[in-house]
Amino acid sequence: MMDELELLKQDWQKKEGHLPKLSYDQIYKMIWKKSSSMVKWIFYISIIEFVFWAAINIIFSDPESMQELKAMHIYNAMMVLNFVNYAIILYFIFKFYMNYRKISVTDSSRKLMKTILDVKRTVTQYVWFNLIIFTITMIISIYGVLIYGPEGKEITESAIQQGNETTFWFMVIVVSLVFTAVLLVLIWFFYKLLYGILLKRLKENYNELRKLEV
């Protein structure tokens, strides 16, 4: 039987003559327009993230807070943390840049999708890394404030005087944990939403191509 698909192919090729035709000038104007591709959006969002977390770091390392840290005996711990932090941030900037450069529209579809998803994965790792650093900083700070900080001393002393020291420390730990957990979930949700919307279709297509290779 004459296949319907063959028929369709013939029809498809016959329709070429009916396609719109753009002039040289129309096309020339187009090459100077701005791209609105997804990669660009991912790139912008990532840059904003880098700047955001770097700003948080800088804000919290002014000389005054450094003095406070010294007073609370956690200066050294914080410095080590800072050093590790900056080293890893540099590594991320490098990796992010390399990933981004690898994106090439002339790759095969599957490879292109993979590179884009890699960029996204680097950004996600960067965000998680920041959250972990943030959490560790919080824990060290809470410890410093409670043990050495003037207000902290007062609070702990009054708690001890009232005779419920264990309950007090238990409460401190629970409150810190809950606070950190809520923060983490919120941020996780935010990223899920942000990249979820941006990458949903890409992910589906990529998985479809990957499934074939099994």
Partner 1 sequence: MNKELEHRFVTELENNQNIVHKVCSLYTNDRDSHNDLFQEITIQLWKAYPKFRGDAKFSTWMYRVALNTAITLYRKSKKRVQTQDYDSVIFKIKTDEYDDTQEKQLKLMYNAIKQLGDIDKALVFLYLEDKDYAEISETLGISEVNARVKMNRVKNKLRTILNP
CB 146 within 8 A of CB 156: yes
Task: Note the helical H segments in the chain.
Answer: 4-14, 24-30, 38-59, 63-71, 75-102, 109-148, 150-161, 165-212
Question: Nearest to residue 81, comparing CAs of 124, 35, 139?
Answer: 139
Give the shortest CB-150-to-partner 1 separation in angstroms: 54
Given 21, 58, 64, 161, the residue binding partner 1 (CB under 8 A): 21
Helices then strands, counting H and E runs in the chain, come out as 8, 0
Which residue number, 21 or 151, has a Cβ lying nearer to partner 1? 21
CA distance 7 to 14: 11
**Residue 113 binding partner 1, by CB under 8 A:** yes
Contact pattern from residue 180 through residue 199 relative to partner 1, giving x for each residue in contact according to CB under 8 A and a dash for the rest: ------------------x-
Q: Does 30 bind partner 1 (CB under 8 A)?
A: yes
Choosing from 62, 64, 151, 204, the residue that interacts with partner 1 (CB under 8 A) is 204
For residues 116 to 155, the per-residue mask of contacts with partner 1, x marking binding by CB under 8 A and - elsewhere, is: x---------------------------------------
Q: Is 31 in the site for partner 1 (CB under 8 A)?
A: yes
Amino acid at position 82, single letter: N
